[in-house]
Amino acid sequence: MLLFRVWLKSRKEEEIKKLTKLTYSQALTEIEKIVQIIESQEVDVDDLTDKVKRASELIIFCRNKLRGTEEEINKLFDEKGLKAE
């Protein structure tokens, strides 16, 4: 059981590293590919859960990236005394 936990933790760390290396555009492209596969019904039922899980991870990544960008822009506007719309 301990070996499984160690393996699972290292696997999660690998997934996090992969996500942090992604750009927003790369993540969006991958989401679009997953959606196409699911909509075309080409995905095997055994792989469906993995595809949906990956898509949800990518969506969270994109959402966080957008929020971070918005915060940075607002901060820049505040520093310059401008109003962000």
Q: 48-80: per-residue pLDDT in tens?
A: 999 999 999 999 999 999 999 999 999 998 888
SS3 content of the chain, % helix, strand, coil (to 5): 85, 0, 15
Residue 83 has pLDDT above 80, yes or no: no
Residue 85 has pLDDT above 70, yes or no: no
What's the predicted TM-score (pTM) here? 0.70
Q: Please give the average per-residue pLDDT across 7-36, as a whole number.
A: 78
Give the residue with greater pLDDT, 64 vs 46: 64
Signed CA dihedral, 22, 23, 28, 29: sign only: negative
Q: Give residue 82's pLDDT.
A: 75
